[in-house]
């Protein structure tokens, strides 16, 4: 169930946001939002690469508390940068929701 929520937030929610708020070019917007999934490349530096019981936020390099403020700042830059920021912020929120569910906080 949590798995389903996680992947819908990663793939369906950006589709919803792109379609509702960027109707004229939702395909490009969705593409950019999905491309921010590349941030998970930092998992390759961890052993094991995938651990369902590990909280990504604050663990992986690109999910650390030092870089998340940068993602928030991107929101205020023009054009595609703000979309990249939006995708990254939605990604971090999705991962954070996961952590909260994992720890029984939500
Ligand atoms: Zn992630």
* Alpha carbon 105 to its chain's center: 20
What is the number of structural domains in the chain? 1
How many A from CA of 62 to the centre of ligand 1?
A: 8
How many A from CA of 79 to the centre of ligand 1?
A: 23
Selected residue with higher pLDDT from 16 and 79: 16
How many A from CA of 42 to the centre of ligand 1?
A: 9
CA–CA distances in Å: residue 26 to residues 19, 37, 44, 58, 74: 5, 17, 30, 31, 20
Selected residue with higher pLDDT from 101 and 52: 101
* Structural domain for 28, as ranges: 2-102
pLDDT digits (tens, 9 = 90+) for 46-82: 988 888 789 999 999 999 999 999 999 999 999 899 9
């Amino acid at each position: 169930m949590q798995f389903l929520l996680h992947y819908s937030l990663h793939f369906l929610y950006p589709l919803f946001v792109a379609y509702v708020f960027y109707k004229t070019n939702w395909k490009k917007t969705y593409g950019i939002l999905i491309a921010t999934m590349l941030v998970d490349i930092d998992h390759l530096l961890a052993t094991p690469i995938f651990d369902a019981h590990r909280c990504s936020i604050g663990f992986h390099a690109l999910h650390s508390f030092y870089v998340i403020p940068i993602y928030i700042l991107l929101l205020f830059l023009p054009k595609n940068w703000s979309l990249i920021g939006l995708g990254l912020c939605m990604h971090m929120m999705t991962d954070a929701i996961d952590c909260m569910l994992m720890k029984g906080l939500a």
